Copies of this chain bind each other. A is one copy, B any other.
Amino acid sequence: MSKSTINDVARLAGVSIKTVSRVVNRESGVRDATREKVEKAIAELNYWPNQSARDLAASRAHLICLVYDDPSAYKLPSSGYIIRLQEGVLRVCRSLGYELLIHPCNYRNDDVESELKFLIQRARPTGIVLAAPLSNIPKIVRAISATGTPLVRLSPGQKLSKEMVVATNDREFAAEMTCYLASLGHRRIGFITGHPRHKAVGHRFEGYKAGLKASGLTFSEELVAAGDNSFGSGEAAALKLLDRKSRPTAIFAANDDMAVGVLRVADRLGIRVPDELSIAGCDDITLAEQIHPALTTIRQPFAAMAEKATLMLVKGTEESEAPKGTVIVPGALKIRESTGPAPG
Q: 10 other contacts beyond A1-B146, A77-B286, with CB at 8 A cut-off?
A: A51-B61, A51-B124, A52-B61, A53-B56, A77-B287, A79-B83, A90-B102, A97-B122, A231-B290, A232-B290
Chain B residues lying within 8 Å of A231, measured Cβ to Cβ, are 287, 290-291
Distance of A97 Cα from B289 Cα, bound (Å): 40
Q: Is A334 an interface residue (CB 8 A)?
A: no
Stretch in A20-28, A68-76, A240-248, A325-333 touching the partner: A68-76
Q: Is A317 an interface residue (CB 8 A)?
A: no
Q: Is A158 an interface residue (CB 8 A)?
A: no
Chain B residues lying within 8 Å of A267, measured Cβ to Cβ, are 264, 267-268
Distance of A77 Cα from B260 Cα, bound (Å): 14
* Beta-carbon contact of B72 and A87 below 8 Å: yes
* Beta-carbon contact of B79 and A104 below 8 Å: no
Distance of A292 Cα from B121 Cα, bound (Å): 46
Other-chain residue from B55, B56, B87, B289 in contact with A104 (beta carbon distance below 8 A): B87
CB distance from A177 to the nearest CB of B (A): 22
* Beta-carbon contact of A75 and B286 below 8 Å: yes
Q: Is A95 an interface residue (CB 8 A)?
A: no
How many copies of this chain? 2
Q: Which residues of A contact B (CB under 8 A)?
A: 1-2, 48, 50-53, 55-56, 61, 71-72, 75-77, 79-80, 82-84, 86-87, 90, 97, 99-102, 104, 121-124, 146-148, 230-232, 235, 264, 267-268, 286-287, 289-292, 303
**17 sampled A-B residue pairs with Cβ under 8 A:** A51-B122, A53-B56, A72-B87, A75-B286, A75-B290, A77-B287, A79-B80, A79-B286, A90-B102, A90-B104, A99-B101, A99-B123, A100-B102, A101-B101, A102-B102, A231-B287, A264-B267
CB distance from A336 to the nearest CB of B (A): 14
Chain B residues lying within 8 Å of A87, measured Cβ to Cβ, are 72, 104
Other-chain residue from B1, B2, B102, B286 in contact with A86 (beta carbon distance below 8 A): B102
Distance of A231 Cα from B287 Cα, bound (Å): 9
* Beta-carbon contact of A52 and B48 below 8 Å: no
Chain B residues lying within 8 Å of A86, measured Cβ to Cβ, are 102, 104
Chain B residues lying within 8 Å of A48, measured Cβ to Cβ, are 121-122
* Beta-carbon contact of B2 and A121 below 8 Å: yes
Q: Which of A121, A232, A289 has the most CB of B within 10 A?
A: A121
